[in-house]
Amino acid sequence: MKSVLSTAFLLSSCVFGETEIPTQKVVNATSSNWAVLVAGSNGYYNYRHQSDVCHSYQILTKLGGFPEENVIVMIYNDIVNNSENPIPGKLFNEPGGVDVYGDIKVSYSGDQVTAQNFLNVIQGIKEGDTKNGPVLESKKGDNVFIYYSDHGATGLVAMPTGDPLYATDLMKALNNMNKKQMYNQLVFYLEACESGSMFNGILPNNTNIFATTAATPNQPSYAFYYNETLETYMADEYSVRWMQDSTKNWDSQESLLQQYKDVAAATKESQPQKYGDEAFDNEPIEDFEAYQDRKGKDTLKLLRNSVKNFVLDESIPRVFDRKWVPSKEAVSSRDVKLATLQHRYLGSSRIEDKIYWASLVEQEIEYRLEVDLLFDELVKFVTGYVNIGGNGDDFINAIKYGHILPTNWECLKYVYSSYEAHCEDRFSDYSLKYVNTLVNLCETFDNQEIVEEGFKAICQ
């Protein structure tokens, strides 16, 4: 390792220190609140997602007074004692902060962190892995807080094991929770690329569910705070901003709406969004982050319109430039692996280390180019098969880069699985950017078999 964490980073006092902030006093025992915290990734490059969730756990339990049995945590839990972690047993989420892993109680880990288990948890369903594990036991007078940090794509957020969580399945679960009267009010904070697509045009405005997302339906979210000792990004920008805001404004009666506005202003790289029921957005954040209550269109037209202002991101080199210095402040979640490898290359002093990391950077760029070419060929294959390729680059670019909301969920799920069956064992952080292309093919042609034939022809 090139350095050790600074004394300030390791030893600074923090709001989570036991002598700093006492557990919130219960002032009204009329109802209990519940929380579900999920990190949907694994691997050391994705350090930040589990760190985000651990940080949120400390806020809810230390500031909010949540008992551990009312907070359900789902993390793969492979980071804190990972062989790449220079400070085993601890996780950090911001410069000058302290260990956020601490006394966290993990409810589901490893291969138990799946979309189905998450859906079972929030609906209170006891079956499979959740048969003997905790699920929401909330009642109609309780508030529910859900925070999810992960990679995403159009209409889905990823999971470390099994299928991704699709927006349509999430909406069915939330509607079921509403029918079962499992909450009074529900707040959902979602960190992921294109996270707005999980709620935009789908989440009703009359079911007492208020959601905010890290990004619009067509932009990435951003990793934040690269640390040279940890050799990875510690946080996600939107996530750490809402947690810093909660810590700063605790007990000030800051409203959900005001927190959303503050976080949106502080988040510079993406544009946080809000969705759903705004009838209660003036309620204080403590009503949810603390335990106790205190009281069908023209598809092609849409695609073409959505891509008019598309600008190719030139911040990441397609040919390795040894002088390239990635931002230490924020990078797109799609580019974290490449940026991290380059940081390691730049931070190496020995020539053999530089050669090693440079080779991995080149390998990653080559992989990204292969993915780019694969989806170029796929679009040409499908559009050529149905003889619509004559519309030229405008049409091709609309299919490749346009962002519309998915409605043909059966097709999307089928072609998503087809890609993993024929081309890549699992979508990567980078290849997830092309889920929007699959959405566009499904919405335009409604022929999942053609897309699968394309994958077979290109990848085998």
403 is a catalytic site residue: no
| 391 pLDDT above the threshold of 90 | no
Q: Which residues lie closer than 8 Å to 442 by C-beta, 6 or more apart? A: 406, 408, 411, 412, 415, 448, 451
pLDDT of residue 422: 97
Q: 38 and 74 in contact (C-beta within 8 Å)?
A: yes
Q: 234 and 46 in contact (C-beta within 8 Å)?
A: no
Least trusted range by pLDDT, from 35-44, 78-87, 197-206, 289-298: 289-298
193 is a catalytic site residue: yes
Q: Calculate ∠ Cα 104-8-225, nearest 5°.
A: 70
pLDDT of residue 424: 95
Task: Tell me where in the chain the CATH 1.10.132.130 domain(s) lie.
Answer: 300-459
Domain 27-295: assigned CATH number: 3.40.50.1460
Average pLDDT estimate for 187-212: 97
pLDDT of residue 326: 87
Q: In the numeric block, which tokens belong to residue 251?
A: 């007990």
Q: In the numeric block, which tokens belong to residue 231?
A: 């050799």
Which entry of 49, 54, 55, 151 is annotated as an active-site residue? 151
| Cα-based distances in Å from 407 to 19, 228, 418, 445 | 52, 43, 18, 13
Q: What pLDDT, in 10s, does the model give residues 80-125?
A: 999 999 999 999 999 988 899 999 999 999 999 999 999 999 999 9
pLDDT of residue 134: 97
pLDDT of residue 324: 82
Which entry of 49, 54, 55, 193 is annotated as an active-site residue? 193
Q: d(Cα 154, Cα 357) in Å, to the nearest integer?
A: 32
Q: 51 and 236 in contact (C-beta within 8 Å)?
A: no
pLDDT band at 10; cut points 50, 70, 90: very low
Q: Which residues lie closer than 8 Å to 50 by C-beta, 6 or more apart? A: 39, 41, 75, 76, 77, 79, 80, 91
Q: What pLDDT, in 10s, does the model give residues 261-320?
A: 999 999 999 999 999 999 999 999 999 998 864 333 356 667 767 776 666 666 666 556
pLDDT of residue 8: 33
Domain 300-459 has CATH 1.10.132.130: yes
Q: What pLDDT, in 10s, does the model give residues 128-171?
A: 999 999 999 999 999 999 999 999 999 999 999 999 999 999 99
Average pLDDT estimate for 246-268: 93
Sheet architecture: strand order including 232-236: 232-236, 222-227, 330-332
Average pLDDT estimate for 207-221: 97
Q: Calculate ∠ Cα 369-375-379, nearest 5°.
A: 145
Task: Tell me where in the chain the CATH 3.40.50.1460 domain(s) lie.
Answer: 27-295
Q: d(Cα 109, Cα 124) in Å, to the nearest integer?
A: 18
